[in-house]
Structure 1
Amino acid sequence: MAIADYSCSGTWEGELIDVGTGTNDADYEGKDVKGKIVLASGFPGGVMNQAVWNRGALGVVYYNAARGISHPDQIAWTSLRSRPPKDKENMFAFSISYRAGMELKQRLAPRPKPVPVPGAFGEGMVPGEKIVVRAKVEAQFEENPKQWIVEGWIRGTKIHDQQIVLTAHAQEEKYSANDDNSGCANVLEIARALVRLIQEGKIARPKRDIRFWWVNEISAEYEYFSVHAEEAKKMLVNLNQDMVGAKQSVGSRIQHITRTPWSRPSYLNTVMESIAGMVMKGNSAYLSAGMAGTPQPYSKAILSKLGTRERYGAEIVPYFDSSDHLVFNESVIGVPGITLTNWPDENIHSSDDDLWQMDATQLQRNAFIVAATAVYLASLKPEDVRALALQVRADGQRSLNESYHRATNLLTLVAPADRSAVYLKGANLLEQARLRAGATLDSVRVFGVDAKAGAELEQLKARFTTAAANLLGDLGRNYAFLSGGTSPPAAQFGEEEKAMAGKVPEVAGTVAEYFDKRQKIENYFGLHPLMAWETFCFVDGKRSYLDIYRVVRAEVQMAGEWYYGKVTARQVADLLDAAVKAGAVKMKQ
């Protein structure tokens, strides 16, 4: 049994009533729950609203039906609303296993009247068992709660305003071996190992500072930067670890490694993908590699003495949030960040997130990726920038080619009546990919380039323009090929798009004021939450509503609507208007 977060202190006693999910009005038809305790499988915050606040119940006994068949004895962590509505107060909620919940449900249910003949049933039903629950909670809440961050440093030899920040969150519940004690342990082990290697002279002390943060997930960073906004200017990148120790054969888990969002183009993707790609290929087996004499099963094995010999199942994926790197990538913070997070994970936030399903080998592989990325960036010298720039340039060309491939595929899959609209979206995708590739190449300038190198970077960027123009011409020929020789359409703005082109938003107020006002926007107008966040992140005082819509649409198109949902011009305009109304952004005059 577990107590839900934000339950309040008190002692209660009442009859237990089964209300099904307990989150809909229909669950309470014909049931009087006033002064009673409800058994429910729906989210306890919603049950608290329906049963306690609306109908006078005393509290909630919750069981997790979503994982019940696969994990009948798992006890889920759960929470009530941290900020109840005005004049409302949380009572309590306890979490029990699915098996225990179903047993109580069966005992409460009416059943056929028994008869003396074995195996037979009489006419009519008898009421279910009356069960009385007694609950006692002792909880303590700080009157003025504060966030905390535990911090460690490896001081660089020369540069102190380009810090590499490693993060993991430490606030989780009792059972949190993978989420996120694994990340916390890896950050600590990376710090310990690097300090020892430096002390023993096996690696040089890096030029730049490396900071190690153990935090309250997401909320600590939001408060930190709200109070110390200037600190973000001293940070180069964020490398986050959140669930990095899973035994992958338990639940078919994959180690996902994110790229930065489109609003934060960065060389970090190139560095991370190079190192992670080596670990991925070096810890997977390939038949032909063995025939070539390459060591088998793994060519660059990273194995822990106490861990498994499983392969490293990892995938580099488009940006997602839900962990600490989110805050660093905010437009008003401006620090590119990535996370290593395994998914799916049916043990997360439950009593099953314990040491039995951890793997020291996977911990070590993920720690290597993060440590190697941190050391490379912390040690990068001006003479190394040219090699990095060429790798970033190659990745930019690849992204352009992938955009062309995506646009062509979509063109071939639509009905003829929709072909013109899809062509125009493909043309926009190529243009946005070109701009993103150029901005990513520009990001290497942070390491310092002289006038000559700067001019050469501009020449490399110009090659993106040439490549994009060639690909656009080829996309037009593809359109003509599919359309029997008809030329592709030219872009035309409707009245809505013309209006959007004339509105240029910019962030209003301080970092703290911006975050405070933005969180009051509750309606995302049907946008995927990540694309709503990206819409906010593209607000820079330069892009118009239309510009923001076009780049967000391209980001969705590249990843796929299955990943980021649909986006329309109206949704983006309505969301930005809501941000203006909330005072988070304002129109540039």
Structure 2
Amino acid sequence: MPLTYRIEKRPMKRNTWEPVNAVVTIVGETTPLIQFKTNRNMLPINVLSTPPGGVTAEVVFLNNATKPTPENVKGKIAFSETAGATRLYSAAIAAGAVGAMGYSMPAYTKPEINQTSIQFNSLNATATAGWAINLSYAVKERLKAAIAKGPVKLHVEIETKSYPSEELTIIANIAGSIRSAQRFVYSAHVQEPGANDNATGVGTLAEMARLSAQLYKAGKIRPERTITFLWGDEIVSTGRYITDDKERAAGILWGMSLDMVGENTAKTGGTFLLEKMPDPSAIWTRGADKHSEWGGSPIKEESLFPHYYNDFIFNILEEQGKFAKWEVKFNPFEGGSDHTPFLQNKIPGLLMWHFTDQFYHTDNDRIDKVSATTMKNVGVSALTAGLLLASATENTAVSTINTLLAAATERLNTEFELGKKNIAAGMPADKERHIIEVWGKYYTDAMATVSTMPVTKETTKLGSTIKFGINQVEKQAKAYIDQMK
């Protein structure tokens, strides 16, 4: 059958954890200090329940210089505004505390503006005593103000569950009509609880699959290679899909991760990004190239992954951006999402995402921060790419060489101008020449990969175009290197 799907079920290696409810009240006050129904992330993953009826204890504020000891926290609740609850937990419980309450929010989440935000985190699944609670900026300020007036007791009730469960993965396919063993794989991870991260990725991919099936049934598309849609646990499910079946893995030609793809950037901040496969900008990040606040470390030259995929996809995104007045940018490779298993297995893999998001991993990542228009722009771009590559012709490949030649020309010129300035400022000319050399080789090697793009070989035109493109890039790189004395 050309249209298929399956649900894979596997027993989880550890029990699943389910938050049910929680409420913390300052003894003597009626309004809760914090509660689960408004701050789901107050409960770290794997936190234990309190005894039935809850726990009442004095809270001790530990300032910067104070560490939890039996003398200051035994039988009490440890509270810190400089350490998150999960970081404070082990030391506090070891010192005899009944529980720990902590605050830790990165600057990019703007906690003094988004005062109710809490980022999710987790405790070790082997925790056997006590509990921990994450605090928002507003809650920790309210608690500090109360403590400043005198001793404070808190009543804490936490209800969670832990039980055996199954990990689920959904895999849907549109079988290729000519080369069904070759495939384009989309993935969206399901385990994170936010609207943008990653309900937008899951939802966008679901709509792409629904529309693809509709178009197929109407006879409007007939991909010649297989297109696969995968939803599952981040990195784990994608990695398993690649490594569990060597024969299947050999036919995976491209991977694409949809992660945080529906942001209303007027509210969240940041911008849409295409995270590139490892190219020289991940070694020498300069000029217009910038890492996101997620951050990345310089890679080594042997880790470069020259391929047409970067520029092919970004060209589609730029066209959609022009059409829809939608801002698209790119960032050097950083890793950390479903594209990494592809790359680790020498398969071209890209990430579509947004960053920075001031609500990232917080319980304020809700549907009011989502843009249906952005989801449409990403979905249109991603599906266009998959359909084009699944049925790529000689003309598609020739056009891609032209795209690569334009990108290489622009990049080499940019690096040449940066190099001249650096040499004039006293930087070693050898280094600047080497950067040009590496970029030139990156693009000539990327052009060579276009030979495998068409589903079937048609004429000798593609081979001639590749040779011409490579020659042009080599000439330009040499000319720039010769001028860098």
TM over 0.5: yes
Check if 1:320 corresponds to 2:359: no
Q: What residue in structure 1 maps to residue 441 of structure 2?
A: 435
| Deviation digits for residues 264-300 of structure 1 (CA, Å, limit 9, x no counterpart) | 222112221221111222233xxxxxxxxxxxxxxxx
Flag the 1:455–1:56 CA change in 2: closer, same or farther, 3 A. farther
8 Å contact 1:232–1:334 — kept in the other structure? no
Q: Aligned partners of 1:234 and 1:147: how far apart in 2?
A: 26
Per-residue Cα deviation, 1:521-576 (whole angstroms, up to 9, x for no partner): xxxxxxxxxxxxxxxxxxxxxxxxxxxxxxxxxxxxxxxxxxxxxxxxxxxxxxxx
Q: RCO higher in 1 or 2 (8 Å CA, sep ≥ 6)?
A: 2
Give the percent of matched residue pairs that are identical in Structure 1 and Structure 2: 20
- 1:384 lines up with 2:379 in the alignment: no
Matched, 1:240 2:246: no
1:47-104 per-residue CA deviation (whole Å, 9 max, x = no partner) reads 1233224x2323222345554311112243222245x6xxx75743223432222212
Equivalent residue for 1:156? 176
Alpha carbons 1:151, 1:213 under 8 Å: kept: yes
Is 1:95 aligned to residue 134 of structure 2?
Answer: yes
Q: In structure 1, how many angstroms separate the alpha carbons of the residues matched to 2:367 and 2:99?
A: 32
Query: In 1, Cα distance between the equivalents of 2:217 and 2:272?
Result: 32
Question: What's the CA shift for 1:364?
Answer: 0.9
Residue 403 (structure 1) aligned to one of 408, 415, 425: 415
Aligned to 1:40: 80
Structure 1's 62 and 276: CA in aligned 2 closer, same or farther, altered over 3 A? same
Note if contact 2:61-2:80 (Cα within 8 Å) is conserved in structure 1: yes
Contact 1:19–1:39 (CA under 8 A) maintained in structure 2: yes
Report the TM-score when normalising by structure 1: 0.64
Would the aligned equivalents of 1:80 and 1:90 in 2 still touch at CA under 8 Å? no
After TM superposition, the structure 1 = structure 2 runs for residues 289-328 of structure 1, keeping only pairs within 5 Å, are 312-328=326-342
> Which residue does 1:519 correspond to in 2?
none
- Partners of 2:309 and 2:382 in 1: how far apart? 12
Shift of 1:467: 2.0
Per the alignment, residue 205 of structure 2 pairs with 187
Q: Letter of the aligned partner of 2:339 in structure 1? A: H
Query: Match for residue 13 of structure 1?
Result: 55
Q: Contact conserved, 1:225 with 1:232, CA < 8 A, in 2? A: yes
Deviation at 1:191, TM superposition (A): 1.0
The equivalent position to 1:250 in structure 2, one of 258, 267, 271, is 267
Pick from 300, 304, 307 the counterpart of residue 266 of structure 1. Answer: 307
Distance 1:329 1:74 in 2: 34
Q: Distance in 2 between matches of 1:226 and 1:46?
A: 35
Q: Which of 335, 340, 355 is the matching residue for 2:352?
A: 340
Secondary structure of residue in 2 paired with 1:335? coil
Whole-Å separation in 2 of the counterparts to 1:68 and 1:164: 40
Equivalent residues of 1:147, 1:220 under 8 A apart: no
Could you say which structure has the larger radius of gyration?
A: 1
Q: Provide, for residues 96-116 of structure 1, a one-character-per-residue CA deviation record: whole Å limited to 9, x for no partner.
A: 43222221222123x4xxxxx
Kindly indicate whether the alpha-carbon contact (under 8 Å) linking 1:248 and 1:313 is maintained by their aligned counterparts in 2: no
- Stretches of structure 2 that go unaligned for 5 or more consecutive residues are 1-35, 280-303
Q: In the alignment, which residue of structure 2 is the partner of 1:217?
A: 234
CA 1:230/1:141 → structure 2, altered by over 3 Å: closer, same or farther?
Answer: farther
2:474 corresponding residue in structure 1: 465
Give 3-state SS (helix, strand or coil) of 2:253's partner.
strand
Q: Which residue type is aligned with residue 142 of structure 2?
A: E
Deviation (angstroms), 1:151: 1.0
Query: How many pairs are equivalent?
Result: 412
Contact 1:37/1:133 (CA < 8 Å) preserved in 2? no
What is the rounded CA distance, in whole Å, between the counterparts of 1:213 and 1:17 in structure 2? 47
Amino acid across the alignment from 2:143: L
Letter aligned with residue 193 of structure 1: L
Q: Deviations over 1:482-506 (max 9, x none)?
A: xxxxxxxxxxxxxxxxxxxxxxxxx
1:196 to 196, 210, 214: 214
1:423 is aligned with what amino acid?
A: A
The answer (yes or no) to whether the contact 2:264–2:374 under 8 Å persists in 1 is yes
Match of 1:288 in 2: none
- C-alpha displacement of 1:430: 1.2
In 2: Cα distance, 1:250 partner to 1:384 partner: 38
Cα distance in 2 for partners of 1:79, 1:252 equals 26
Shift of 1:409: 2.9
Q: Is this contact kept in 1: 2:242–2:342, CA < 8 A?
A: no
Q: In the alignment, is residue 106 of structure 1 matched against residue 145 of structure 2?
A: yes
In the alignment, the residues of structure 1 paired with residue 206 and residue 371 of structure 2 have an alpha-carbon distance, to the nearest angstrom, of 17
**3-state SS of paired residue (2:311):** helix
How far apart, in 1, do the equivalents of 2:468 and 2:384 lie? Answer: 30
Aligned 1:568-587 pairs, distance under 5 A:
none
User: Residues 59 and 154 of structure 2 are in contact (CA less than 8 Å); yes or no, is this contact kept in structure 1?
Assistant: no
Does structure 2 conserve the Cα–Cα contact (< 8 Å) formed by 1:399 and 1:437? no
Q: CA deviation at 1:171?
A: 0.8
* CA offset digits 1:205-234 (Å, max 9, x no partner): 110111001121123333444434553322
Give the residue type in structure 1 aligned to 2:323: G
Distance 1:14 1:358 in 2: 40
User: Is the alpha carbon distance of 1:436 and 1:91 closer, same or farther for their aligned partners in structure 2, counting shifts above 3 Å?
Assistant: farther
CA distance in 2, matches of 1:425, 1:268: 27
1:357-506 aligned within 5 A? 357-412=369-424, 414=425, 416=426, 419=427, 422-447=428-453, 452=460, 453-454=462-463, 457-476=466-485
347-356 vs 43-52, which moves further: 43-52
Q: Give yes or no for contact 2:60–2:73 (8 Å, CA) kept in 1.
A: no
Give the Cα separation in 1 of the matches to 2:437 and 2:228: 37
Write the distance in 1 (CA, Å) between the matches of 2:243 and 2:147.
51
Q: Is the 8 A contact 2:84 2:103 kept in 1?
A: no
2:243 and 2:324 map into 1 onto residues whose CA distance is 41
Partner of 1:68: 111
**What amino acid is the match of 2:162?**
Q
Aligned-partner Cα distance in 1 for 2:217–2:239: 35
Letter of the structure 2 residue corresponding to residue 70 of structure 1: I
| 2:352 alignment partner AA | L
> In structure 2, do the counterparts of structure 1 residues 338 and 472 end up closer, same or farther at CA, with 3 Å as the change threshold?
same
Structure with a larger share of its residues in helix:
1
Matched, 1:78 2:121: yes
What TM-score do the two structures reach when normalised by structure 2? 0.77
Matches within 5 A, 1:19-58: 19-20=61-62, 26-28=66-68, 32-41=72-81, 42-53=83-94, 55-58=95-98
* Kept after mapping to 2: 8 A contact 1:147/1:223: no
RMSD of equivalent CA atoms: 2.7
Measure, in 1, the Cα distance between the counterparts of 2:430 and 2:123: 47
Distance 1:197 1:345, change over 3 A: same
- What's the CA shift for 1:372? 0.9
Letter in 2 for 1:162: Q
Distance change >3 Å, CA 37–CA 217, structure 1 → 2 = same
Is the Cα contact below 8 Å between 1:244 and 1:362 reproduced in 2? yes
Residue of 360, 363, 374 corresponding to 1:351: 363
